[in-house]
A and B are shown apart, each in its own frame.
Chain A
Amino acid sequence: MSAWKEFSKGFYKQNPVFKQALGLCPTLAVSSSVKNGLGMGLAATFVLICSNALISLIRKSVPNRIRIPIYIVVIATFVTIVDLSMAGFVPDLHKSLGIFVPLIVVNCIILGRAEAFAGKNNVGLAFLDGVGMGLGFTLALCLIGSIREIVGSGSLLGIPVLSASYEPVLMMILPPGAFLTIGFVLGFFNWIENRKKAN
């Protein structure tokens, strides 16, 4: 039961983007289309799962005073693996994500999970936590990506979904659209919470 809880909390209850306002830089930068959002989300999920699992494995032998530098080295290693692999196997995606691939290192979600969860729990739970949080992050990126792509280019995953007479709102795929979309989506989730509380 608790395993399921650790896995599923990242989707909504503790969603890193919507509920904890973490990892906002990549969320804003690469969500101009679903494809980019999905690629970024999965890359970060991979790093999160690996770093969570490894940090949980070595948590007892890590001296407390230097745990943060060690976590950073572990995370940076997995990020570089992802970076190199993406450059080799999916060069187009790697290009469009640009510097945000190496910047997964400083994504607060990953160090946050290492510090708050993986350093204190066993491997199984840390793994599930990583999968759940990673997928929650991916979900958030895809949601924002699809809103921006549908309104801003009239398509979803590159396939037109609105009639040809629809004039795309360009602003949505430009930087301002990223800020506005996140602002309103966060507001929407607050609104739901407020209604829940009121009932």
Chain B
Amino acid sequence: MKEVAKLGFVLTLVTVLAAAGLAMVYSITKPRIDAQGAMETESALIEALPQIDPASIEAVRDGDEIRYYRALDSDSQYLAFAYIANGSGYSSVIKTMVGVDKDGTLIGLKVLSQTETPGLGTKVEEIKYGEADPWFLRQFLGKKADGVAVKADGGEIVSITGATISSRALTKSVANGYTSLLKRLEADSAMASTSAEPDGSE
């Protein structure tokens, strides 16, 4: 019995020492890990809303949930919006940060997360060697967000060979996300009747 107590004590001691050491490491790394998440969103916003001063972008929240992002110019006129689009792809949900200007023209897209089939669906965010941005997403730029669709659905977006499901999922989520953005904007402007009406909602 004494032997068991001794062994138990040694094991507990080792575990407590390990836990204490880890608590120290955790306290050092935690701020960095937290900052990492915020930085990811921030850099995605910069890619989705290029040529817009990142300092002017603000998140519109509903409690803890971020509903969309908006950028205001110095006269509190709307310049652009960004929203997160979720599309159910082949093997995962493709999450994309989408930027539109006040007329609803797409100005930037950045895939936040996806675990599609490597080599096929993952091409939605593939950047060819020597290029700066993903070639699939580039064809969205300058198009109206509400009308965007893949060719098979009567639109202009050329699907990725071998990854039509991922291509369509992302494209649809961009259009659907824009529709719900408009609804949210409308609801918000109805509440705050004095603030500038977003042009995109017309």
Contacts and interface: CB of A to CB of B under 8 A. Distances in A.
B129 A84 contact: no
A173 B123 CA distance: 13
B18 A73 contact: yes
Interface stretch (B29-37, B78-86, B92-100, B188-196): B29-37
Contacts of B40: 91
B11 A69 contact: yes
Given A81-B22, A85-B29, A173-B118, A65 B7 contact: yes
Q: How large is the interface on A (under 10, 10 to 19, 20 to 34, 35 or more residues)?
A: 20 to 34
Interface in B124-142: 129
B14 interface: yes
Contacts of B10: 62-63, 66, 70
B32 A88 contact: yes
Contacts of A155: 129
Q: By CB atoms of chain B within 10 A, which of A63, A152, A159 has the most?
A: A63
A15 interface: no
Interface in B22-54: 22, 25-26, 29-30, 32-33, 36, 40
18 contacts: A63-B6, A69-B11, A73-B11, A73-B15, A76-B18, A81-B21, A81-B22, A81-B25, A84-B22, A87-B36, A88-B33, A89-B32, A91-B33, A160-B129, A168-B119, A170-B119, A170-B162, A174-B117
